[in-house]
Amino acid sequence: MATLTGAQIADAGLDGWTYLLGALHTRIRTPDFAAGLALVAAVGAEAERVDHHPDLDLRYTFVDVRLWSHDAGGVTGRDVRLARTISALAADAGLSPSPAGLSRLEFALDSPEHAAVAPFWRAILAWERPGGADATDDEVRDPAGALPTIWFQASGGEEPRQRWHPDVWVDPAAVAARIEAALAAGGTLVSDAEAPNFWVLADPDGNRVCLCTWQGRA
């Protein structure tokens, strides 16, 4: 089954959902833990019925949902359909999906030669080399999808240099507010040359971070 692009997902008009790092995400806030547990049970029953299973994170006041097709390596029509069903189940319980506050995090290691360092990080984290059609040799990925991916970015060898930088993935609608808050907190906008793909910001000490979206990507 073919995966959908960010633009195709946006055209689907999934209210309350956002597309981050190859998956659909939402947060459904609940009045208490019991309400969250009941929602998880309802989603689980539907997932079993259609044989397509989301990643669910149950907390005291919310349930986070991540949807993607493992066999296709991205979001497909199955995920869009299940997202609509989950939204309906939430509505039946008097709850509303929302992407507000959601982010996904990756870490980039700037290295002149990633092939020399990737095996170390794979070993120290006990992670596997990524497989599937979208696999590349320039990243180390948690096979369970629970921890941030580490990927390797080519860099020069000049010193001093920042070796690590985080990539924070957010909904495109959240970018302006994130940048405004970062600037108000003493940060600077280093570059928006690649926007809306990503923006580069720095903290008051000069440490850089990329704010990323699906926009401007294949």
> How big, in percent rounded to 5, are the helix, strand and coil portions of the chain?
30, 30, 45
pLDDT in tens, 4-14: 999 999 999 99
- pLDDT recorded at residue 133: 46
Q: Assess contact for 43 and 57: CB atoms under 8 A.
A: no
pTM of the entire predicted model: 0.89
Q: Name, in order, each residue with C-beta under 8 angstroms of 149's C-beta and a sequence gap of 6 or more.
A: 106, 107, 139, 140, 141, 142
Tokens of 72: 């296709």
Tokens of 75: 């979001």
pLDDT in tens, 105-132: 999 998 887 788 888 998 999 887 655 5
- Domains annotated for the chain, with CATH where assigned, are 6-98 (3.30.1360.20), 104-212 (3.10.180.10)
Phi (first) and psi of residue 91, to 5 degrees: -60, -40
